[in-house]
Structure 1
């Protein structure tokens, strides 16, 4: 009986000692990705311009399909309204190498049996594109599908000359101008990390009609310009700090 009582007492004392088992390691939940914040990035792609050129007074009309490389930078701000919708504003500037030219000839008379021919030569180059846009996106964690659109501008340089098969160069002129219009497009952003975001985007620009005259007595050139662009980019998102999670 004495031995049994001692054994029971020892077990009771052991049960009252503090446990040496460690508490489970706390694992904080992964915070939801947030698109809110400023961002700045660079992009590169292709610009495909279409300029409908009409030489006034001659009936000559031709479409220049200008294509070239484009590249530049963009900066903007996102605000995530809820887990699925994101609003933003963005500005960008792009340089392009898109250019094209065409010639048009007509018979205007001659000397004896030799016909005289006038040849008009027009060239258009699109030097840069710029825009200030609003963005509306639908997010799925680190992917953001968005529509974009707003006001756009472009730098265009035109040259027009007239040569005669007998008299040679009759007149020539060039004109640099800033076009204004609108752009609209769509794209997708994907956050590879909390800060680095890749992009693929399509955008269409429409700049309407412009007209200019190289000299007082020359024919005029009327252009209608629109541009399609495809670009890829990489930006750095200055995202909001992650929420602090208390440990208990």
Structure 2
């Protein structure tokens, strides 16, 4: 009977203590789960326009000399993204170049015949195929190229001399490759290498040492550009879609 009485007293004391301890505990704080924010979806489908600057450098067998020239211009085109990461497009580009004051000296006429070629404008219409890595697009391009004519001149001791050449040096082809990066909604920047070739030619008549000489009419260019991209609505949605 004594043991039962002691057990009852202990239970009563415990029952009085537990509520007091519970009252001393701080209330539990509930926090809201962070909102779901998926990564941006980059879509290259759409039209674009932009501009570029860079440099042009003649090939080894060109008549424009070895010094580089500054160029700047505009471009526009359209891309279509398919099969998740592949991008197919077409682009038109036009560049203006600074004047060329250099040339190539051909021996055989005493002081030699100085021949130079000066073309101030380059253009191209190309297709391009690329593979996108999210905001980055690695691409290759190629197609038709043209320039503002064949401005070849020859002189001996500063005096112009007559000559003739063969070949059409107004139309040609171009190939290139580049990397474009979408750094903001509707904006992308690129850097690319592009090679222009307008064929080879031969001097048919002119001073001794010049007749029969062949040359190549080509340009190597490096450009940095900036594009503004327009959406295609239901075709591709926004260029950078965020949820």
Distance change (3 Å), C-alpha of 1:178 and 1:226: closer
What's the counterpart of residue 199 of structure 2?
A: 208
1:240 to 202, 216, 232: 232
Aligned residues: 201
Summarize deviations over 1:178-211 as a string: whole Å, max 9, x none. Answer: 5222111110111111201100101112221135
Contact 2:47/2:232 (8 A) holds in 1? no
Gaps of 5+ in 2: 1-31
Cα distance in 1 between the residues matched to 2:117 and 2:55:
17
What's the counterpart of residue 161 of structure 1?
A: 155
Aligned-residue CA RMSD (Å): 3.6
Cα distance in 1 between the residues matched to 2:52 and 2:69:
14
1:102 to 101, 104, 111: 104
Cα distance in 1 between the residues matched to 2:182 and 2:78:
15
Q: Name the structure with the higher helix share.
A: 2
Cα distance in 2 between the residues matched to 1:136 and 1:72:
22
Aligned pairs (5 A) from 1:15-34: 29=38, 32-34=41-43
Distance change (3 Å), C-alpha of 1:222 and 1:160: farther
Gaps of 5+ in 1: 1-22, 54-61, 108-116
Contact 2:52/2:72 (8 A) holds in 1? yes
The higher radius of gyration belongs to 2
Cα distance in 2 between the residues matched to 1:169 and 1:93:
34
Cα distance in 2 between the residues matched to 1:123 and 1:185:
26
Aligned pairs (5 A) from 1:135-154: 135-154=128-147
Normalised by the size of structure 2, how large is the TM-score?
0.69
Q: Name the structure with the higher strand share.
A: 1
Normalised by the size of structure 1, how large is the TM-score?
0.68
